[in-house]
Each structure stands twice: as C-alpha cells, then as structure tokens.
Amino acid sequence: MTVGLPPITTQHNRSRGGSNSSSPTYDNVLVGVRCRPLFPESDKTHELAWQLNPLQQSIQLANNNSNSRRYPTSHVNLQTEYHYDRVYYESSNEQVYQDMVLPLIQQTMDGYNATVFTYGQTASGKTHTMMGTDLEPGIIPQAVNEVFNCIKQSKNNEFLLRVSYLEIYNETIRDLLAPENDNLKIYEDPHRGTYVGQATEKVVTNPHEVMDTILCGETNRHISTTDYNLHSSRSHTLFQMVIESRQSGNTPLYKSHSPRAKASVKISQLNLIDLAGSEKAASNQDRRKEGAYINKSLLTLGTVIAKLTEPGKSAGHVPYRDSKLTRLLQSSLSGSARVVVICTISPTIFTVDESINTLKFASRVKKIVLRAKNEPIADDKTLLQQYKSEIDELKKKLQVANDGRAQEQQNNETMLSHERQQVTHTMAPPQPIST
Ligand SMILES: Nc1ncnc2c1ncn2[C@@H]1O[C@H](COP(=O)(O)OP(=O)(O)OP(=O)(O)O)[C@@H](O)[C@H]1O
Ligand SMILES: [Mg+2]
C-alpha cells in the first residue's frame, strides 16, 4: 500500500518561454506500474514474483530462492531495480486515480489536452484499472465525475462537453456508439491534431448520461474469453471527451463577433484508452488472428516510443503511420498533451518475461518530453462558437421576421383606416327610428 506518500512532483511548471499561462510547459510522461493481486486458483502459485518498494517507488524481482531458480536468466539482470513515479500493489482503483489522474483532469478543465492509457500483457488488470467495477470504479467513471464536479464549482466559465467512444479492432476503427460506422478514417488538423472523422459525438450534460453512453458502447465492444482471460479485450478502446470552455460575462457572448471574444474559447481533449494486451498465441483461430493484430500494433507502439526516446539525436522519421493506434496517439506522444501511462503486470513467476518487457516499456515511455499548451483558440469550428453563432443567426432571423410582421400589421392598420374613412363618406348618416 502506498499510504501517506507525498504528492507526485512533476515538472509541469518548467515553462521555457515566458510566464504566460498559455506558453508550453515541459514535462515527462507520468508513469505508474501496478502489479495485480495474486489469484492462487488461476495463477497456480502463492508466490509473488516481484518485490515492490512504495517508498522508493521501485520494483524488482523478489530474490527468494524458490522463485529465483525458475527465472529466465538469459536476458534478465536479476538485480535490476526499476523506478517510476508510482508503484502499486494491493492498491485500490481510487488510490491509483487520485495519485495519477486527478491532477490531470483538473489541467484538462483548464484547456490542456490529456491522454491516459493502460499498457500490459493480457489479464494483468488494464480494463480493471481503466473501467473497474460497480464496487470499485476505475479511472473512466472517476474522471467523468471529476469533470462535472469541476464544472459545478466553476463560477465564471461556461462549458460544452461531447463524448465519443471508439475501438480499434483488427486494424479498423469502429464507432462503438454507431456500430454501422465500422471503418472510420484518421485525419489531421492544426488544432485537434490527429482525430477520427465521422465519429459520433454526443453532447452530454451530466455524469449519468456519459456512463449510459459508455455502457451502450460497451455492448458493441469486442470482448471474448481467451486462454488467459475470461473477459479479454480484443480491441483497443478510446473514450474521448472534448471540453470547450469560455469565460461567461454579463454581455451575452453571441452578440460579439470580435476576434477577441472568439479567441476566448479553450478546447481540450481528454483521451482515456484501454489497450488490448499482448499475448502468446491463442488456441482459437479467431483469437489468434486478433492477437496477431494486437501484438503488431503494440510492437509499433514500442518502436515509436523507442524512436522518440533514442538518446542523443532528434527522432527523425517516427513510424506513427504503421498502426492505427500509433497514428491516433501521434499528437499525444509527439508532445501536445499531458500523458499518464499505467503499466500493469501480473504477479506470477510464469509471466516474468512479459512483465520485464512491460517494465522496459514503462521506463522508455517515461523519457518522452511533452510540451502541452492551453492556448485559447479563435475557431468557428468550436461547438460553443457554432452554437453562439447559430443563436445569433436565429435571433437575427427572428428580428427580421418580427420587423416584417410589425410592418405588415402597420400596413393592414393603414389600409383598414382608409377603408373605414371611405365607408363613412359613402354611407348616409343613420336616421333615428320614428314610430
Ligand atoms: N488490481 C486488481 N484488483 C482486483 N482484481 C483485479 C485487479 N486487476 C485485475 N483484476 C482482475 O483480473 C482479471 C483480469 O483483469 P483485466 O480484464 O482488467 O485484464 P486486462 O489487462 O484488461 O486483460 P486483456 O488484455 O485480456 O483485456 C479480471 O477478472 C479483473 O477483475
Ligand atoms: Mg482488457
């Protein structure tokens, strides 16, 4: 348990370019490693292969004799101690969320793009960490709640939220909110970076609506029983929340067309990604095919990260386009977002090789330097701006219609008064009735 530790100190404020809050801040990817508990029934052992030191935030192979005899020694330095921002064993989803993700959500509300993903071999606890259960909600439900908490507490800003939910299955991007859209394309935009076109975006107003949307999407997600996991994710999923915010003033903003007013919109993306896990060949043919796609995209992710963190030279060509996953993560990994990675490992000696690969990935990803910005943007494409413009347009139309109606009424009244005058002139004055 990692109780009573000081907060994680990131170097977010290491701004190289002035004190302006919208200038980029330089920091590294925040990395946590989480070892799931032993399940002696399915893990077929009572021995934990790893020794975690929460005070040092380090992890290394446990050096008890019964274990160490069985470690693969060919490429493993048994003494290696790996260090991260956080290591977790027997920790709750809430604790992982509070340490690693909560501060990020608060920055997202302030206009920074943020990406969180879980990485690790199959059955190591990625989905448990990201989605969790009713009793132990994971990162996604907790993050959604926090976004709405922040909105509730914000006195001076107005917000507009929209969500989408996608999966990458066998290298095709599917819209989990509209499964008939099963081959979506990736585009690039100077503000949004890489994004999926034509994905369903649902405007949401409360956490229940978001969670209902996710649950609805979950029913369309590819999950199957494999040799390793009863509910194995067969696809990578991306839950995305786009947050637009602007200061609310006394003057209704739709009245203003000034670039300054337009420029006050901040737009940020929160990407919460549950990756499928690497696995050895499965016995079922479909699972094997899925596994091959999963392994290939994770391999590309590893290559991209290795390229980005090669010591001593600039990255050169980075093969983002070699997989849908890396293409989607391109903006985040190339530095325009704050990034948190939670790497999950299984606790047993039988999976030590895979765990070491995960730990090496975690060490490499930690070296990526990010330059996230939270600049307000002047863009008619923001929904807030569009809605304001639409309201403005409707107001104008209403005004024109009202003016027309007033004119018509005035014309009618003038005509009526003319007619009345004519009738008065042509009619004989009424005679008193005499008996
Ligand atoms: N920290 C944890 N505490 C309790 N149970 C856990 C924890 N981590 C994982 N589990 C359980 O272990 C099983 C496998 O976890 P999960 O499905 O999250 O793995 P995964 O990494 O998403 O695998 P895959 O790559 O196959 O989708 C699930 O039954 C899950 O509830
Ligand atoms: Mg999973």
Pocket test for ligand 1, best of 34, 36, 167 (most atoms within 8 A of CB): 36
Q: Please give, one letter per residue, the 3-state secondary structure of 205-235.
A: CCHHHHHHHHHHHHCCCCEECCCCCCCEECC
Q: Are 57 and 87 in contact (CB under 8 A)?
A: yes
433 or 410, greater pLDDT: 410
Binding residue per annotation — 19? Answer: no
Q: Which ligand is nearest to the CA of 122?
A: 1
For 195-242, the pLDDT digits (tens) are: 999 999 999 999 999 999 999 999 998 887 887 777 888 899 999 999
Q: Which of 285-315 are b and which e, b meaning 16 or more Cβ less than 10 Å from the residue's Cβ?
A: eebeebbebbbebbebbbebbbebbeeeeee
Residue 37 CB–ligand 1 contact under 6 Å: yes
Q: Is the pLDDT of residue 271 over 60?
A: yes
pLDDT digits (tens, 9 = 90+) for 337-370: 899 999 999 999 888 989 999 999 999 999 998 8
**Nearest to residue 374, comparing CAs of 112, 77, 78, 13?**
112
* Beta carbon of 297 within 6 Å of any ligand 1 atom: no
Q: Name the amino acid, one letter, at 249.
A: G
User: Is 125 annotated as contributing to ligand binding?
Assistant: yes
Q: Ligand 1 pocket, 287 CB below 6 A?
A: no
pLDDT tens across 44-89, in order? 778 889 999 989 999 999 876 565 556 665 555 667 899 999 999 9
Is residue 232 lining ligand 1, measured as CB closer than 6 Å? yes
Pocket test for ligand 1, best of 1, 95, 128, 301 (most atoms within 8 A of CB): 128
- Asked whether 93 lines ligand 1 (CB < 6 A), one says no
Is 362 assigned a ligand-binding role in the annotation? no
- Ligand 2 centre from 70 Cα, in Å? 28
Of all helices (H) and strands (E), which one includes residue 92?
none
Averaged pLDDT of the chain: 82
Return the SS3 of 139: helix
The annotation status of 124 as a binding-site residue, yes or no, is yes
Query: In the predicted model, what is the mean pLDDT of residues 376-398?
Result: 66
In this predicted model, what pLDDT tens digit does every residue of 105-147 receive, in sequence order? Answer: 999 998 899 999 999 999 999 999 999 999 999 999 999 999 9
Residue 233 Cα to ligand 2 midpoint, Å, equals 4
Question: Model-level pTM?
Answer: 0.81
Determine the 3-state secondary structure of 380 from DSSP. coil
